[in-house]
Amino acid sequence: MPEIERLSGRSDWIDLEFVERERTPEPIIEVGIHLHLAGLSLSNTKQILERLGVERSRTAIHNWVQKADVQPSSDAEPNHIAVDETVIQVNDQRHWLYAAVDSATNEILHARLFQTRKTQLTVLFLRELREQQQIEHVTFLVDGATHLASALDRLGLDFRYEKHGNRNSVERIFREVKRRTSSFSNTFSNASLDSAESWLQTFAVWWNRCQT
């Protein structure tokens, strides 16, 4: 798989301060986190580690990803940001995944999970994005969702409707997240909303590194 080829290189984006409390060597934890974020299920990651002579449970591997506490960041100054939301399943419950993507680089600038979809939550999401990025002179690309337009208008942010073109960047990310969460049933099995959120933040960092 092409994603596996991206596993080489530095791992300084992974915070392994928690390793001193683990019985697993740091290089093995790095490999496990990389494999899972590159597209392998927890079960398949467990099998690969066993071939390397290390037996760890799926829960242990899941906990490595959670404890790494990786958060996306970017120094980019985008001209256009595609913003949208989609539904994913967490423990058989519907949750709304919001994402803001630099349409020029395909980098995820901000991603959040919410239990409902409301204009107030969309405003909260955009305010969080504004704390991380310079967005006052950005044009946001949205579909026909009225709550997105209402939230952007409330914050005085520029936007235009675009169903395809530059908005395809966010749609590709949604397809990948849905592929992971539907194909790997154990990704969010018995997971709390917080752990699902943590996984998505770590995935966002991995995704951004794959775009460079």
Closest by CA to 96, choosing from 82, 112, 118, 114, is: 114
Pick from 22-26, 82-86, 201-205: least confident: 22-26
Using CA atoms of 159, 97, 6, 26 in order, give the dihedral in degrees to the nearest 10. Answer: 130
Tell me the pTM: 0.70
For residue 134 the two structure tokens come to 């310079």
For residue 83 the two structure tokens come to 């913003």
Check residue 200 and give its pLDDT.
80
Per domain, the residue ranges of the chain are 2-68, 80-189
Q: Say which residues have a Cβ less than 8 Å from residue 176's Cβ, sequence separation at least 6.
A: 207
Residue pointed to by tokens 């955009």: 126
**SS3 for 112?**
strand
State the Cα angle at 203 between 43 and 162, rounded to 5°.
130
By DSSP bridging, strand 108-114 and strand 93-102 are: antiparallel
Give the sheet arrangement for strand 108-114, strand by strand: 108-114, 93-102, 80-90, 139-142, 158-161
For residue 136 the two structure tokens come to 């006052």
Q: Express each pLDDT in 131-186 by its tens digit.
A: 888 888 899 998 877 889 999 999 999 999 887 666 677 788 877 777 766 644 44
Name the CATH superfamily for 80-189: Ribonuclease H-like superfamily/Ribonuclease H (3.30.420.10)
Task: Considering only CA atoms, give the Rg of the chain.
Answer: 18
For residue 4 the two structure tokens come to 């596996």
In a 13 Å sphere around the CA of 200, the CA atoms on its Cβ side amount to: 29
Strand partners, 183: none
Task: Name the DSSP letter for residue 94.
Answer: E
Q: Express each pLDDT in 102-145 by its tens digit.
A: 888 888 899 888 988 889 999 999 999 998 888 888 999 988 77
